Amino acid sequence: MDNVHESMASGITGTTSKPVSAASGQKKATRGWLTKLSQIVPPLMAFIVLIGGWELIVTWIGTPTYVLPKPSDIYLAASDNFSSLMASAWKTVWESIYGFAISVVLGVSGAIFLGLSKTIEKSIYPYAVILQTIPIVAIAPIIVIWFGAGMNSIVIIAFLIGFFPMLSNTLIGLNSTEQNMKNLFTLYNASRLQTMWRLRIPAALPFIAAGMKISCTLAVIGAIVGEYVAGIGGGEGGLGYAITVAATRLQTPYLFACGLSASLLGVAFFLLINAFSKWLLSSWHESEMKVDN
C-alpha cells in the first residue's frame, strides 16, 4: 500500500510539474515579446508622428516642392527613379566596402607595427594625428590629380576617412593589455611577436570591433564626399554624384531620396558590423555576453 501511495504521489507531482514549467516558459516568452515591443513601439510611434506631421505641415503651409518636399513627394521621386537610385546606391556600396576593408587592414597592421615599440609609436603616431586633422575636402583634389577621377580616388578618400579610427582604437586596445599577463609572458621568455599575437591582439579585439563600428559609417561618408570631387557621370555615378546632379537641377525630392538612401547604407553597415562584433565577442567578453536576470 505504501508503494502504491508513493507511486500515486509521484504520479500526481509529475503531472502537476509539467503545467507549472510550461506556464513559467509561457510567461518568459510573453515577457520577452513585451520587452521587444517596448523597444520597437516608441521609435515606431515617433517615426509615424514625424512623417505625418511633416506631411501635414508642408501641405498646410503650401511650401513649393523644390524648397521642401513632402514625404509623399520623396517616395514618388524614389519610385520613379528606382533603377537609377539602386545603381547609384550599389556603386556607393562597393566603394565604401573597398575603402572600409583597406582601412581595417592597414589600420590594424599599422597599430600592431606601432605597438611593437614605444619609440616607433612616439615617432610616427603624431603624424597620423596630423593627417587626420587635415580636412578631407582639402586633400581630395590632390588625390584626384594623383590617381585620376573615378573609382580609385573615391576608394582612397573613403579609406583615409576610416583609417584613423581603426589605427587609434586598435593601438589603445594593444596598450590596454593587463600588465600582469604581459609579465607572465615575459616570465616564460615569450618574444615580442609571440606576446603580440597570443596576448595583445586578442585583448584588443573589443577595441578593434569598436573601431570597425566607427570606420564603417565613415567609409560611406568618405565615398560620398569622394564622389562629389572625383565622381563620374552617366550610369556609373554613385549617390554623391546623384546628389550633385539633383541639386543642380533643383530635383529636391530626389535629392532627399538620395540622402536618405545614403543614411540607410550607413545604418546597414553599422548593423552588420555590430552583428559581427556580437558573434566575435559574445562567447568570452563581458561587453557582448548575455546577462541572465
Average pLDDT over residues 199-208: 92
pLDDT at 14 over 50: no
At 152-197, the pLDDT tens digits run 899 999 999 999 999 999 999 999 888 898 899 889 888 888 999 9
Sign of the C-alpha dihedral, residues 45, 50, 52, 53? positive
Q: Percent of the chain scored above 70 by pLDDT?
A: 85
- DSSP class per residue in 102-132: HHHHHHHHHHHHHHT-HHHHHHHHHHHHHHH
Average pLDDT over residues 199-218: 93
At 69-89, the pLDDT tens digits run 999 999 999 999 999 999 999
Residue 286: pLDDT band with limits 50, 70, 90: low
DSSP H helical segments within the chain, as ranges? 2-61, 71-80, 82-115, 118-133, 136-147, 151-175, 179-187, 192-195, 201-230, 239-248, 252-281
8-state DSSP, 236: G
Average pLDDT over residues 252-270: 93
The answer as to CATH 1.10.3720.10 being correct for domain 71-281 is yes
pLDDT at position 192 is 87
Spell out the domain ranges in the chain.
Answer: 71-281
Say which residue the cell 599577463 belongs to: 181
Higher pLDDT, 201 or 236: 201
The model's pTM is 0.81
